[in-house]
Chains A and B, each alone.
Chain A
Amino acid sequence: MRSRGRGLGYAVAVVALLTFFLGPFVWQVLTSLWPDDQLGRALPRSLTVGAYASVLGGRPFVRWIANSLAVAAATTALCLLIGTAAGFALAKLEFRGRRLLLGAALAISMFPPIATVSPLYLALRAVGLRDQLAGLVPPYATFALPMTLWILSSFFRQLPDELYQAARVDGCTPLLAFRKVLLPLAAPGLFTTAILVFIFSWNEFLYALTFLSSPEKRTVPVALSLLAGEHKEPWPEIAAASVVATLPLVALTILFQRRIVSGLTAGAVKG
């Protein structure tokens, strides 16, 4: 039984933590509706969507959103395509180097991006992909592909071996057994992976900042980081742009928190 005092302490702790973790974002939403000429006041006397109009209308912001969408979607597609095959092999097939590959993937996901940025810059320039959105996809695989391999292999491992073996005994090759039996069952795992890879790609900053130089090619985080430099601290506009850039992620998180949590802890639980 929980005593009343403990219930009160619990409530206070919940409110304090929620205030700390959500308050800043709520304040950002309020700021985005704050009229520019009332910034000196403690609270606005009226609210306006002017900042949204100016962000979505006056700047290539929609273009930046489209850029981010394109890069994140392409990275997700690439990683799922090559990661699903590898994830299945890692989970269900016996071959030398299995552990080495999983270990290497984990190590690579810990690489500081700054360590790879200079050779990647020179390589992308050499093949004409510097300052191209497509040029971001291979570097993004450095963090996205290891994540894909870990989540998917742990997901495939949870599917019963018997299913796969029954299909093999029935005369399927490993590939056919994978495609006809395991792949349909793995749909939730693929979806979980897709959400996580998408979020990480959408948020990536260092590579996008380094490899892209044309203003119209910026991704959302890079564009946001440079908004202040172009005007004199347009705080409501920065806030409105942040809210627009964040809403898709907030929606994904609230809708799919269970999957996100299972994906984040997938490889982790085994240590």
Chain B
Amino acid sequence: MSRGAPSRGGSLAAERRQAYLLVAPAVAVLAAVALYPIGAALWLSLHRHIVVFHERSFLGFANYRFLLADARFWSALGHTAYFTVVAVSAELALGLPLALILHEARRGRGLLRALVLIPWAIPTVVAAKLWAWLLNPSYGLINRLLGGADINWLGHPVLALHTAIVVDAWKTTPFVAILLLAGLQGIPEDIYRAARVDGASSFRIFRSITLPLLRPALALALLFRTLDALRVFDAIYVLTEGGPANTTETLSLYAYKTLMRAGDFGYGATLSVVTFLCVALAAAALVRGLGRGWEEAR
């Protein structure tokens, strides 16, 4: 890429200096609010640090040894993984038809797109509150539609986590659909026309043209949604606070409670660092796996 037209010899160096000057504030802010805290959390996780007692002592890896034997950590990890896999699958499965419908729409596509985006735009706290009301055991609409059933959705150890999954899917599927819609719009109309001339059925066109060409958009949606679902906090905090009996407690929630309820910053930081590592590992694995898929598709 050739940028800027250096008319004199020193001009390129001058331009580079100006570039550094322009990005410096952004780099400084990102370093201060993201890189420093990650390093500091790592350091903190090697300590015993109880905030209210101003107690702080170096422990080495004791917190991590404790974590490996901490059953509550392993069950939080399990809930997080289960939540992520089921929620993201549901979001892709719902987002694809939604994107196809938005793409098909001739009239009112703009309005339709805006309406569908509403769940994406509203705060997750509001989304969780409105679903908690829909699922209210005595007055909720869902139980009424089920013929006056008496299901305690948020109080049931198995149903509660799935309720959180429904809320997450409701809130974030529109984002998936928007990413996929951009992918659909990038597929040239000519290819479809040629396939139709060759007599291909709609299903065949979808399977042999749309789906393969949509692969990059699907991969991107999968990546973004997975990394976002792994850090789930808001919806579950509002719906159940991790209950009943910790059956909906995810990594972020366990770390939050350890930090802010128990005031244990050492172990809380350990849990946060491990959450961070899980997200980083998932990101690396997905980027590698999807990258390889890309090569093969070529």
A interface with B by C-beta (< 8 Å): 10, 13-14, 17-18, 20-22, 24-25, 27-28, 31, 39-40, 42, 82-83, 85-86, 88-90, 92-96, 101, 104-105, 107-108, 110-123, 138-139, 141-142, 145-146, 149, 161, 164-165, 168-169, 173-175, 199, 202-203, 205-206, 209-210, 220-222, 224-225, 235, 238-239, 242, 245-246, 249-250, 252-254, 257-258, 260-261, 264-265, 268-269, 271
Contacts and interface: CB of A to CB of B under 8 A. Distances in A.
Nearest to A165: B5
Contact of A142 (B25, B34, B111, B175): B34
Contact of B130 (A27, A107, A199): A27
B129 A119 contact: no
B53 interface: no
B25 A115 contact: no
Contact of B234 (A92, A206, A250): A206
- Of the candidates B123, B224, B275, the one having the most CB atoms from chain A within 10 angstroms of its own CB is B123
A140 B273 CA distance: 19
A87 to B, nearest CB: 8
Given A40-B139, A94-B16, A235-B133, A116 B37 contact: yes
B18 A250 contact: no
Nearest to B173: A21
B26 interface: yes
A202 B123 contact: yes
Contacts of B35: 108
A209 B253 CA distance: 12
Interface in B3-53: 3-5, 7, 12, 15-16, 18-20, 22-23, 25-27, 29-30, 32-38, 40-41, 44
Contacts of B110: 257-258
Nearest to A94: B3
- Of the candidates B118, B233, B275, the one having the most CB atoms from chain A within 10 angstroms of its own CB is B118
Contacts of A27: 130, 133-134, 141
Name A's interface SS.
helix
B92 to A, nearest CB: 15
A269 B219 CA distance: 11
B88 interface: no
A257 B252 contact: no
Nearest to B116: A21
B40 A119 contact: yes
B162 interface: no
B255 interface: yes
Contacts of B178: 261, 264-265
Nearest to B276: A115
A113 B97 contact: no
Given A17-B98, A115-B273, A149-B26, A205 B234 contact: yes
A24 B3 contact: no
Contacts of A25: 118-119, 122, 130
A116 B252 CA distance: 11
Nearest to B167: A24
Contacts of A22: 115, 118
A13 to B, nearest CB: 6
B256 A111 contact: no
Contact of A17 (B32, B101, B133, B237): B101
Nearest to A248: B121
A257 B116 CA distance: 10
B201 to A, nearest CB: 12
B260 interface: yes
Given A93-B16, A111-B279, A264-B175, A85 B126 contact: no
Nearest to B253: A114
A252 B237 CA distance: 27
Given A95-B19, A114-B255, A24 B279 contact: no
A102 B115 CA distance: 32
A169 B5 contact: yes
Interface in B70-110: 97-98, 101, 104-105, 110
A202 B122 CA distance: 9
A202 B173 CA distance: 20
B227 interface: yes
A102 to B, nearest CB: 10
Contacts of B115: 18, 21-22, 254
Given A17-B101, A113-B233, A253-B121, 10 more contacts: A14-B101, A14-B105, A20-B170, A85-B23, A117-B272, A123-B36, A174-B15, A174-B19, A242-B130, A261-B113
